């Protein structure tokens, strides 16, 4: 009897980002994507959110490698952190497989972290089938908003497990590379697909996503309608097809192109080297040369489509850009859509651009963006072609997963074979079918600067500080007797005006002194116990007086 295949979901099921799973065959582990997530407003001071690698760390000796489905950071951006966490011994690099572009995009963070020697990069091509340990992997082309994405078929003792990666069914993609439904259908009708794991991002959206080439027509119209103005565009730096269409529209209207933003410059150079971006050197100049060019013959392709604080577009909107001063002679095109959680930041940038006199075009005013993810009609098509026995929706918030599961049921997948999973769930595919098989750690892991492991407690404290402020109570006390030698004094930030603090202290002082005296009478004789008394007493008084709950920090000095 063949051994079961286990899949542990470490991220990406219940949020947009952190996509990561561990597929186990024959006691070995293949990591499927290793992505990060960007923080939301509830994560003050956090730069990145990573999957929980503790399961992989405790099973590092069983890891065979990592497969990257495509080059977006929500699928590749945590790889450097994983390598650092695993601390693989010298001479035993991790095998990482993906398209040449995907590996080129992924290795930027790895090289910046000085971990390039920890990886054996293995580029694969459309339709390739390759063995890595007990894993028999097949790479099937899919269309997405970054070139050369793959669906990955795991040929296992329990049959084919197919992960779609992020995909859409674009019938007229910019590069002509279609999602290979013929091969997926061949797997469905040949050996059969035991388990389908499929992208759920747009499961709530009816119909089909617009073709990427449709955006090109809109961009060309914008360039043609603004022959006398400088045009500044922004999109994801990995969206090579969008960059190609912007470049085509610019060059077709006699404009010279400059890139702005480090990642945009790097990715354009990489895509040109790989032959994925056609942009003649004669039409490309360094950003330093833009000031000498006529504005009406200039096109800037910039980073900052998500309103990132220090991005090139944000600096333009605030008037702090080293290279460009945006004004009434500019048209700014945001050829993107705000990722959930970034809406406020993007709106702030748009407001800033308008304040500086620029004309702004975005997805709310013209169709300058289309999604790279399949909508419900395309998801139905994928299910009809694949004809899976079992189904697990992946990549999406819980509502997306739920809607995708409903689609699968409507397409004839038996309810007992549809599992609605979340981060941390483990499923087992065996001769008896599919079922839950336990849990693994899958908490959010926060990165703050170069420091990892910011705890939930730290985030809770930061939220309290930002919402309620802090009250520091300073006293000097003779521990053995409980006699207060000096104080109490209140020092506050973000709580009350200084005059109100003074009045509050005068009202609270007798109660604080009485609480300390009572604690001493009960035998309290150490600083930590007195701190607890002070924290609870001041907290209660503050809440009763102001109906607020600032952070209370008792500072006791031993006399």
Of 199 and 444, which is predicted with more confidence? 199
Alpha-helix runs per DSSP H in 35-180: 54-58, 73-76, 79-86, 100-112
| 27-31, 218-222, 425-429, 498-502, range with the lowest pLDDT | 498-502
Active site residue 70: no
**Residues 72/154, Cβ–Cβ less than 8 Å:** no
For residues 83 and 94, give the distance between their C-alpha atoms in angstroms, rounded to a whole number: 8
| Integer Cα distance of 370 and 242 in angstroms | 10
Token representation of residue 185: 């259908």
Give 30 or 463, the one with higher predicted confidence. 30
pLDDT tens digits for range 30-44? 999 999 987 755 555
The DSSP bridge pattern shows strands 330-334 and 230-234 to be parallel
Determine the average pLDDT of the residues in 491-510: 63
d(CA 286, CA 265): 10
Q: Which of 144, 369, 373, 404 is catalytic?
A: 373
Q: How far apart are CA 45 and CA 319, in angstroms?
A: 24
* Residue 199 annotated in active site: yes
Model pLDDT for residues 203-233, shown as the tens digit of each residue? 999 999 999 999 999 999 999 999 999 999 9
Q: What is the pLDDT of residue 49?
A: 86
Active-site residue, from 199, 423, 425, 448 = 199
Nearest to 95 by CA among 104, 78, 83, 85: 83
Query: What pLDDT does residue 191 have?
Result: 84
- Of the chain, the percentage scoring pLDDT greater than 90 comes to 68
Under 8 Å CB-to-CB from 446, ≥6 apart: which residues?
Answer: 39, 43, 46, 48, 49, 50, 452, 453, 454, 455, 459
pTM for this prediction: 0.81
In the chain, what are the domains? 5-207+371-453 (3.60.15.10), 212-361 (3.40.50.10710), 469-558 (3.10.20.580)
95-145 confidence digits (pLDDT tens): 999 999 999 999 988 988 888 888 999 999 999 999 999 999 999 999 999
Name the range with the highest mean pLDDT among 74-83, 338-347, 520-529: 74-83
> What are the DSSP calls for 10-50, one per residue?
EESBSBSS--EEEEEETTEEEEEEE--B---TTSTT--EEE
């Amino acid at each position: 009897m063949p051994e079961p295949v286990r899949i542990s979901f470490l991220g990406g099921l219940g949020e947009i980002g952190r996509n990561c799973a561990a597929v186990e065959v024959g006691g070995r582990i293949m990591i499927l994507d290793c992505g990060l997530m960007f923080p939301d407003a509830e994560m003050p001071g956090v730069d990145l959110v990573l999957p929980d690698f503790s399961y992989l760390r405790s099973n590092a000796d069983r890891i065979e490698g990592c497969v990257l489905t495509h080059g977006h950071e929500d699928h590749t951006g945590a790889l450097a952190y994983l390598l650092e966490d695993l601390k693989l011994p010298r001479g035993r690099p991790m095998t990482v497989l993906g398209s040449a572009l995907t590996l080129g995009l992924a290795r930027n963070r790895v090289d910046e972290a000085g971990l390039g020697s920890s990886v054996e990069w293995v580029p694969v091509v459309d339709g390739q089938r390759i063995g890595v340990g007990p894993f028999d992997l097949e790479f099937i082309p899919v269309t997405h908003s970054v070139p050369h994405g793959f669906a990955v078929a795991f040929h296992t003792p329990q049959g084919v497990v197919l992960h779609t990666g992020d995909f859409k069914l674009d019938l007229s993609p910019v590069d002509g590379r279609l999602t290979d439904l013929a091969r997926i259908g061949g797997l469905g009708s040949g050996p059969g697909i035991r388990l389908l794991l499929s992208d759920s991002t747009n499961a709530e959206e009816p119909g089909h996503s617009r073709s990427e080439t449709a955006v090109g027509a809109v961009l060309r119209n914008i360039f043609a309608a603004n022959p006398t103005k400088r045009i500044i565009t922004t999109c994801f730096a990995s969206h090579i097809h969008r960059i190609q269409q912007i470049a085509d529209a610019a060059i077709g209207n006699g404009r010279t192109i400059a890139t702005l933003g480090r990642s945009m410059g790097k990715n354009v150079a990489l895509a040109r080297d790989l032959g994925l971006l056609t942009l003649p050197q004669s039409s490309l100049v360094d950003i330093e040369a833009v000031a000498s060019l006529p504005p009406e013959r200039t096109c800037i392709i910039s980073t900052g489509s998500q309103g990132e604080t220090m991005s090139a577009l944000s600096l333009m909107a605030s008037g702090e850009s080293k290279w460009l001063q945006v004004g009434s002679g500019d048209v700014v095109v945001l050829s993107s859509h705000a990722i959930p959680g970034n809406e406020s930041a993007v709106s702030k940038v748009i407001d800033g651009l308008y304040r500086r006199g620029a004309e702004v075009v975005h997805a709310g005013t013209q169709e300058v963006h289309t999604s790279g993810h399949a909508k419900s009609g395309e998801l139905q098509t994928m299910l009809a072609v694949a004809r899976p026995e079992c189904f697990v929706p992946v990549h999406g918030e819980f509502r997306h997963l739920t809607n995708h599961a409903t689609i699968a049921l409507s397409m004839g997948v038996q309810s007992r074979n549809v599992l609605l999973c979340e981060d941390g769930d483990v499923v087992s595919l065996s001769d008896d079918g599919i079922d839950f098989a336990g849990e693994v750690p899958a908490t959010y892991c926060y990165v703050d600067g170069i420091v990892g492991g910011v705890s939930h407690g730290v985030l809770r404290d930061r939220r309290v500080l930002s919402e309620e402020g802090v009250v520091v109570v300073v006293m000097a006390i003779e521990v053995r007797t409980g006699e207060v030698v000096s104080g109490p004094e209140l020092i506050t930030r973000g709580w009350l005006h200084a005059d109100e603090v003074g009045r509050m202290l005068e009202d609270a002082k007798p109660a604080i002194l009485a609480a300390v005296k009572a604690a001493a009478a009960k035998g309290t004789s150490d600083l930590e116990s007195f701190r607890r008394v002070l924290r609870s007493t001041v907290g209660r008084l503050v809440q009763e007086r102001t109906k607020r709950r600032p952070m209370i920090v008792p500072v006791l000095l031993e006399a």
